[in-house]
Structure 1
Amino acid sequence: MKKLLRRVFSSIVILLIMGIIAAIFIQLPLRQHIWNAGLLTQTPSAHYTSPIIVAHSTQQNENNTSPTESHTPTVTPSVSTHSGAISKGSASGTLSGTSSGPTNTTIPSTIPHAVGAHLVNAQGQPLVLHGAQIESSFINPTSWFSGNMPTTLFTETLFITMAQGWNMNAVRLPLSNWIYARDSINYVNQLDVVVQRANAAGLYVILDLHDNAKSGSPYGTNVPFPKTEDITFWRTIAGHFQSNPMVMFDVFNEPQSNGWQAWLHGGGTVDGATIVGMQDLVNAIRSVGARQIVIVEPGLGAVWYGITGYLINDANVMYSLHIYSGIASSAQSLDNAWSSLLNHYPIFYGEWGAIVNTYTPVQCGTIPHAQADQIVTNFLNYMASRNANWTAWEFTPYHLIQDYTTFTPTTLDIPWTCGDTTSHAGMGTIVRNFLTGK
């Protein structure tokens, strides 16, 4: 009996061992198959941080033609050592190179984000920004320290008029890091109220850093470049608004960097200011957890020729241009200014307009009175055809509107001369009619 029990026990043990061996040989190829299909995850090594998840990847080409889109979501790992530039041909944020950059560029699906050459909103629907800039005491030290607070200008009625009366969905707010540095608590409190009012009306708010002599820079007009002080500013402001999906960051207004390497990475000092690059400002925003869209503008020359190889290392970036008299240019010339960015990245005209009462006549010198209406209309149609986002200059009296009471739009169909600063002519009627379909 004991011998029989030992034989049964031995048989059971042998069967168990054979089962384990069989399971190993079956599971290994199965696990490899599942891994290859992307259904298993692996603990990241020291070379990887959080993945960049992109809904549609795009393949860039040099002919400014529409990219080929893949409708399968792709996951591109963010490499911890890179040059700060997105690899050529990748709108999905593939990183390359050797210098330090953002440690986490994951884009939450709950905020507006870039998908190829387009923006999509938090619901995954196409988003095209169309609105206006409004300058205020946020960038005017004299006005600010005289007690003229922005909340007096930026009323609920103003934003509701933009959204409901003009069908706008965005407002660009120029800010000064220098006023902020001198009156930080009051500055942020005022900004909070303004952003809340704009968002409540349905407007996205583009916070735009103006670091120049006009905004109070102690360096005057000699240092029109990003500086270390701007990094401090963006860490604070971006951190403060990092949970607001209706805020975007225009990192530096009209930098005058000479050459793409200096534009991207900065370097050196000018009049005691330490110069940084546009990538450094983007990194500062990302370092505090803010994942919203960042907007960058070109350096000296104000066009994007030669940008290939110096792109911002970020998966949620929109490229910007400012244009005034150039709106009279041909569609081909306008396309050329975007260079290889066109049809591959979201584009944004952060400032544009037919400004006839300007102190700088070059802004309207190529816009004849008799053709002004048609030129503005043609440019609006051009932007629509290129899926361009835009904020016009600007929703203030005698530019887009006549006053802050009735918000009656201005018109170019009255006598005016380019450079006459007393003129009340403006393109408001054309812009409003375009947006409202009148």
Structure 2
Amino acid sequence: MRHPPRSVLLAVTGAVALVGAALVPVVSASGATPACTVQYTVTSQWDTGFQGSVTITNNMAAVSSWSLSFDFASGQKVTQGWNGTWSQAGTTVTAVNESWNGSLGTGASVSAGFLGSWSGSNAVPTTFKLNGTTCNVDAEPTPTPTPTGPPATGSAPALHVSGTKLVDAGGAPHRLLGVNRSGGEFMCVQGYGIWDGPVDDAAVKAIADWKANAVRIPLNEECWLGLSNIKPEYAGANYISAVKDLVARVESYGMTPILDLHWSHGQYTGNSAGCSDVHATCQKPMPDAQYAPSFWSSVAGTFKDDPAAVFDLFNEPYPDRATSTTTQAWECWRDGGTCPGIGYPVAGMQDLVNSVRGAGARNVIMIGGLAYSNDLSQWLTYEPTDPANNLVAAYHVYNFNTCSTESCWNSTLAPVAAKVPLVAGEIGENTCAHAFVDQVMKWFDDRGLSYLGWTWNTWDCSAGPSLISAYDGTPTAYGAGLHDHLKALNP
């Protein structure tokens, strides 16, 4: 998708009249001192709203910045906040320090407050995390309970291309059937965090419980490279570490991680521009020559010894919206350089393949076509050269795309699938139903091809579209289509 919903920056406003007060005590574990504690207080509550506050105490090493996160269980919404930058994505609330209260020494505390809305009940959050560390529990590790579903196996398959199939190390065909996990492309550049919602073991296990075997992870090149416009806590080594951790969790459940360059640098204000910003704040028509090759050299160097990881070079190219001819668009797509209608030097798909292979990585590479990866009509003609012979054609399809019918798939996709592996990296619809994705999955199933649903986030299914209403894996009406289908394929 070009425009995933953003986390909302909540403005600080003046005081309002409030009545009543209720204190919610911290529930502390016995034993060692917790790494951090959070006192959550409901100071006032009325018919549809309430005022709350949090007092955070840091018992770890001193930090120069802090980010607190917790989840509401009863549909509450934060509407305003102070003493921190407050945001909410689905059920997950995040408060990030202001410029003047970021330092938190060992044993030091800080308080922040907010206004919120509620309906039905106003249940107290049960888990709080400070900079990713769970608070109000013993600092010493506790045994991990035995999962009730499929256990983590650590057996994500090493993949390579063999003819028209993706195969594992033993040569058995392997279809990628799973979901996208959006967030890593936009949260960091917007200054709210790294992921949109939880990506801990329970959250990844919920994906595996759908019988998914692949997770596509959209990334932001400026965050990975640690450019100066990104908050340090979400940039460079911190961002890379978070990505590596998520990849490890995905693989621990036997699922294939697909690392995707989603948002990139370069100013484009032409036809179908998603933003006018030079920074990586939206989908650009092509990757930029300034940073994208460096991004892929670094990503490839990081994961070159992990043959289970797959690289998706660029989310949704659309040079066809900028250039005047189809030939110009495909030449720009493959060769980059100075492309008509695009005001920054472009890195072509051949440049990015060279960056990956130059870093010593032989991992499988996915490459989408034109028209936001919906047009593969000349993909074979302009296919880049790969010394590792490990290229896969990537395709995106939604009910509102041009190529969204069986006749188009038969005429443009089938010839590609007859030559190289074909993966639909994104499938979806904006109807909050699943009739269209059901049709897509049947066409791909009949040909033994791969697909991943957009997206494993708790957004409005008509705006996202979103597969889930909660990170425990509860499907939306739209997500039920993929959920039930994967379960039927792997009973």
Band the TM-score falls in, shorter-chain normalisation: 0.5 to 0.7
2:187/2:194 contact within 8 Å kept: no
User: Aligned residue for 1:350?
Assistant: 425
Shift, 1:355, TM fit: 2.3
Structure 1 segment 39-54 matched on structure 2, within 5 A: none
User: Aligned residue for 2:296?
Assistant: 234
How far apart are the structure 1 equivalents of 2:313 and 2:441? 25
Structure 1 segment 325-340 matched on structure 2, within 5 A: 325=399, 329-338=404-413, 340=415
Shift, 1:299, TM fit: 2.1
Structure 1 segment 195-344 matched on structure 2, within 5 A: 195-212=247-264, 217-218=278-279, 224-228=285-289, 229-258=291-320, 259-268=329-338, 273-300=344-371, 302-314=374-386, 315-325=389-399, 329-338=404-413, 340-344=415-419
Structure 1 segment 3-22 matched on structure 2, within 5 A: none
2:183/2:196 contact within 8 Å kept: no
- Amino acid across the alignment from 1:139: F
Structure 1 segment 83-98 matched on structure 2, within 5 A: none
User: Aligned residue for 1:156?
Assistant: 201
Which is bigger in relative contact order (C-alpha 8 A, separation at least 6)? 1
1:172/1:208 contact within 8 Å kept: yes
Shift, 1:329, TM fit: 4.6
1:134/1:174 contact within 8 Å kept: yes
Shift, 1:251, TM fit: 0.4
How far apart are the structure 1 equivalents of 2:195 and 2:166? 29
How far apart are the structure 1 equivalents of 2:197 and 2:377? 41
Residues 350 and 271 (structure 1 numbering): CA distance in 2 closer, same or farther, change over 3 Å? closer
How far apart are the structure 2 equivalents of 1:239 and 1:341? 29
How far apart are the structure 2 equivalents of 1:216 and 1:191? 25
Shift, 1:307, TM fit: 3.2
Structure 1 segment 19-98 matched on structure 2, within 5 A: none
How far apart are the structure 2 equivalents of 1:257 and 1:158? 36
- Amino acid across the alignment from 2:312: D
- Secondary structure, counterpart of 1:267 in structure 2: coil
The TM-score normalised by the length of structure 2 is 0.56
1:131/1:390 contact within 8 Å kept: yes
User: Aligned residue for 1:52?
Assistant: none
- Tell me whether 1:386 sits opposite 2:447 in the alignment: yes
Which shifted more, 218-227 or 230-239?
Answer: 218-227
Query: Which entry has the higher C-alpha Rg, 1 or 2?
Result: 1
- Secondary structure, counterpart of 1:224 in structure 2: coil
- Amino acid across the alignment from 1:161: A
Q: What does the per-residue CA deviation read over 1:296-328, in whole Å, with 9 as the maximum and x for residues that have no partner?
A: 011247312233431121210110111111589
2:187/2:195 contact within 8 Å kept: no
1:248/1:294 contact within 8 Å kept: yes
- Tell me whether 1:126 sits opposite 2:126 in the alignment: no
- Amino acid across the alignment from 1:245: P
How far apart are the structure 1 equivalents of 2:239 and 2:189? 14
Residues 216 and 285 (structure 1 numbering): CA distance in 2 closer, same or farther, change over 3 Å? farther
Shift, 1:141, TM fit: 3.3
How far apart are the structure 1 equivalents of 2:409 and 2:294? 35
- Tell me whether 1:175 sits opposite 2:226 in the alignment: no
1:178/1:216 contact within 8 Å kept: no
Shift, 1:162, TM fit: 1.4
Residues 215 and 238 (structure 1 numbering): CA distance in 2 closer, same or farther, change over 3 Å? farther
Matched residues, percent identical?
27
Tell me how many residue pairs correspond in the alignment: 296
- Amino acid across the alignment from 1:256: Y
How far apart are the structure 2 equivalents of 1:118 and 1:257? 28
- Secondary structure, counterpart of 2:263 in structure 1: coil
Shift, 1:336, TM fit: 2.0
How far apart are the structure 2 equivalents of 1:188 and 1:215? 27
2:159/2:364 contact within 8 Å kept: yes
User: Aligned residue for 2:56?
Assistant: none
**RMSD value over aligned CA atoms?**
2.7
Residues 332 and 233 (structure 1 numbering): CA distance in 2 closer, same or farther, change over 3 Å? same
Shift, 1:226, TM fit: 1.8
The TM-score normalised by the length of structure 1 is 0.62
Shift, 1:390, TM fit: 1.1
Structure 1 segment 358-369 matched on structure 2, within 5 A: none
User: Aligned residue for 1:396?
Assistant: 457
- Tell me whether 1:191 sits opposite 2:243 in the alignment: yes
Which shifted more, 394-403 or 319-328?
Answer: 319-328
- Amino acid across the alignment from 2:349: M
Residues 119 and 355 (structure 1 numbering): CA distance in 2 closer, same or farther, change over 3 Å? same
- Tell me whether 1:139 sits opposite 2:186 in the alignment: yes
Residues 266 and 194 (structure 1 numbering): CA distance in 2 closer, same or farther, change over 3 Å? same
2:215/2:257 contact within 8 Å kept: yes
How far apart are the structure 2 equivalents of 1:222 and 1:173? 15
Shift, 1:376, TM fit: 3.0
2:164/2:419 contact within 8 Å kept: yes
Residues 152 and 118 (structure 1 numbering): CA distance in 2 closer, same or farther, change over 3 Å? same
Residues 374 and 190 (structure 1 numbering): CA distance in 2 closer, same or farther, change over 3 Å? closer
Residues 201 and 231 (structure 1 numbering): CA distance in 2 closer, same or farther, change over 3 Å? same
Residues 329 and 138 (structure 1 numbering): CA distance in 2 closer, same or farther, change over 3 Å? closer
How far apart are the structure 2 equivalents of 1:271 and 1:434? 41
How far apart are the structure 1 equivalents of 2:310 and 2:275? 23
2:205/2:253 contact within 8 Å kept: yes
Q: Report which of the two has the higher share of helix.
A: 1
Q: What does the per-residue CA deviation read over 1:90-136, in whole Å, with 9 as the maximum and x for residues that have no partner?
A: xxxxxxxxxxxxxxxxxxxx931111111101222110000000111
- Amino acid across the alignment from 1:260: W
Residues 307 and 152 (structure 1 numbering): CA distance in 2 closer, same or farther, change over 3 Å? closer
How far apart are the structure 2 equivalents of 1:231 and 1:191? 19
Residues 142 and 125 (structure 1 numbering): CA distance in 2 closer, same or farther, change over 3 Å? same
